[in-house]
Structure 1
Amino acid sequence: MLVECYDEKGAEVYEMIIKQIFQDLVLGPAVEDLKAFANPDEAVFILAIKMKKTSGVIKFGDVANFTYDKNNNVTKIFIENENYLPNILKLLWRRYSRDELYQPTRYNIDLDGNQMELEDLVVDDPHSNLQRRIYDAIFRILPEGFKIIKDVSVGDIVAVIATDELIKDDWIDKANDYIAELNRGL
């Protein structure tokens, strides 16, 4: 972790704030590296965070067994991994009304018609979930009053520039330098 600031005490305070927020949100193990820049004179704060690699997306067909009963025109779904059941139900309730879902047991769901295409429905995306948690941390870290925010995130690096003025080109360059350094592992 690197926090750049012309004021040494300011850098120490921001490092402490970042560590505390990461500890509160249990993000430490999910972050590979971080670079921050604070300049109170120019009212700018730049933060770039490299996320660790996450597992791939989990599709409905990965955690459930699908069969289509032609005679009754019903798709029967057996949930094999109950950890994803809340996500599955939330997605199905968005797509269908609760009246269209028949759930005779905790692990069984019946839907009218041929619904085999649901096997490709994404029920969990760890990369997206981690990214959302990192954005939450960033918005807690940013200085109060910095309402102008530019997101310059790329791939596994979440990066933002925050200020209360117009964003300058050299700040964007600095953020891009941080992204390049994090990509190279510097």
Structure 2
Amino acid sequence: MEALETFIVESPVPEEGAAYRSIISDVISELVLGGAIGRIKVVIRPEDSLFQMAVVLRGSQKPVKVSDFAEVGYGALEKNEVKIIIDEEKYLPALLEKLWARYSRGNVMQPERKTLLIRQNEDSEKEIAFLEEMIVADPKQTLLSRLVEMAIRSTPEGFRVRYHSMKENHFIFVASEDTLKPEWIEEGHKILAEILEEK
């Protein structure tokens, strides 16, 4: 696991804090989040049945557009066909799903592994411009789901009442056995502010 800038686990029982730190480290490693997380602080208050986590990410990745990994142009039929030549195959399954949804399976052909042909009756110039800008993958959404999974797996068993928030490069998670109090969520935001101020 890549070293984190800040990794704090606070608990009124030091042994408990050390145990949770170990659990969280393992979960971060299993979910391959070490490179994404810069700072993390967790506060556990057993007396309130409360678990709070604030995370600052190292940076965010932009959504991946078709033009980031493929060349889009006219096909052999010019006006009625669009040709996509792919550089990075890892995005091919997601691209095919989106193309099938937009044009139907029958109008999307794959004559070669890295070549797609789309038959359509629209203005090809507009379709080419649309396809170049079409988002195929959003790493931020994937990262959010992995962060939520990390937080849930780190939480004590039975803490099923949960709140999470992700804005820009900041993630907050609060969980309890009981109904969440607004001040607990506010505290989560304060924990985030604390680790943001650290140099």
Asked if Structure 1 and Structure 2 have the same fold, meaning a TM-score greater than 0.5 normalized by the shorter chain, the answer is yes
- Check the 8 A contact 2:60/2:169 in 1, yes or no: no
- Check the 8 A contact 2:72/2:82 in 1, yes or no: yes
Instruction: Identify unmatched segments of 5+ residues in structure 2.
Output: 1-6
**1:182 and 2:179 correspond:** no
- Return the offset for 1:31: 0.7
Instruction: Identify unmatched segments of 5+ residues in structure 1.
Output: none
The equivalent residue for 1:30 is: 36
CA distance in 1, matches of 2:31, 2:117: 38
CA distance in 1, matches of 2:94, 2:173: 30
- Check the 8 A contact 1:21/1:141 in 2, yes or no: yes
The answer to which of 64-73 and 150-159 deviates more is 64-73
The change in CA–CA distance for 1:99 and 1:37 in structure 2 (over 3 A counts) is same
**1:118 and 2:126 correspond:** no
- Check the 8 A contact 1:44/1:164 in 2, yes or no: yes
CA distance in 2, matches of 1:151, 1:72: 48
**1:3 and 2:16 correspond:** no
The equivalent residue for 1:146 is: 159
- Return the offset for 1:43: 0.6
Counterpart among 154, 162, 168 of residue 181 in structure 2: 168
**Which amino acid in structure 1 is aligned with residue 63 of structure 2?**
V
CA distance in 2, matches of 1:94, 1:183: 42
- Check the 8 A contact 1:79/1:108 in 2, yes or no: yes
The equivalent residue for 2:56 is: 50
Question: How many residue pairs were aligned?
Answer: 186
CA distance in 2, matches of 1:125, 1:184: 29
CA distance in 1, matches of 2:70, 2:100: 17
The change in CA–CA distance for 1:118 and 1:165 in structure 2 (over 3 A counts) is same
**1:104 and 2:111 correspond:** yes
Q: CA RMSD in A?
A: 1.8
**Which amino acid in structure 2 is aligned with residue 40 of structure 1?**
P
The answer to which of 46-55 and 1-10 deviates more is 46-55
- Check the 8 A contact 2:148/2:164 in 1, yes or no: no
Secondary structure at 2:167 match in 1:
coil
CA distance in 2, matches of 1:156, 1:23: 19
Deviations 1:125-180 (A, max 9, x none): 23332222212211211121111111233321111111121222331221011121
TM-score using structure 1 length: 0.90
- Percentage of matched positions with identical amino acids: 29
TM-score using structure 2 length: 0.85
